[in-house]
């Protein structure tokens, strides 16, 4: 039924036609091609083995940032409670 497709998307794995997609290579070159899924841009994965050592380490640092440092917990031992006595209710 055509009304079913107008209300929601069809529950299917394969699309019946091919869609125009822009393929971006690792060197920045672009190619227009037909792709079975409706997407705007496809990017080719970069081979990290061909990169210089410094650039490869920089990319790895961006992808896997260091863990945040643990903060010290606040303790209430150094607080003078008499300064806040006016806020307490009896």
For residue 9, the model assigns a pLDDT of 63
* Whether the predicted model's global pTM rises above the 0.75 cut: no
Of 55, 52, 56, 14, the C-alpha closest to 36 is 14
Alpha carbon distance 37, 17 (integer Å):
8
Tell the residue number behind the tokens 């210089």, with chain if given. 52
pLDDT in tens, the chain (90 residues): 566 656 666 666 666 788 999 999 888 899 999 998 889 999 888 888 888 999 999 988 888 888 888 888 877 777 888 888 888 876
Assess contact for 21 and 36: CB atoms under 8 A.
no
For residue 83, the model assigns a pLDDT of 85
For residue 30, the model assigns a pLDDT of 94
Hey, CA dihedral for 71, 76, 80, 81, is it positive or negative?
A: positive
Assess contact for 39 and 21: CB atoms under 8 A.
yes
């Amino acid at each position: 039924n055509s009304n079913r497709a107008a209300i929601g998307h069809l529950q299917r794995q394969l699309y019946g036609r091919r869609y125009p997609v822009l393929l971006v290579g690792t060197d920045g070159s672009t190619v227009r091609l037909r792709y079975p899924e409706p997407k705007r841009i496809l990017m080719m994965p970069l081979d990290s083995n061909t990169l210089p050592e410094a650039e490869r380490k920089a990319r790895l640092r961006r992808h896997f940032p260091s863990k945040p440092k643990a903060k010290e917990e606040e303790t209430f031992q150094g607080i003078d409670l008499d300064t806040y006595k006016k806020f307490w209710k009896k």
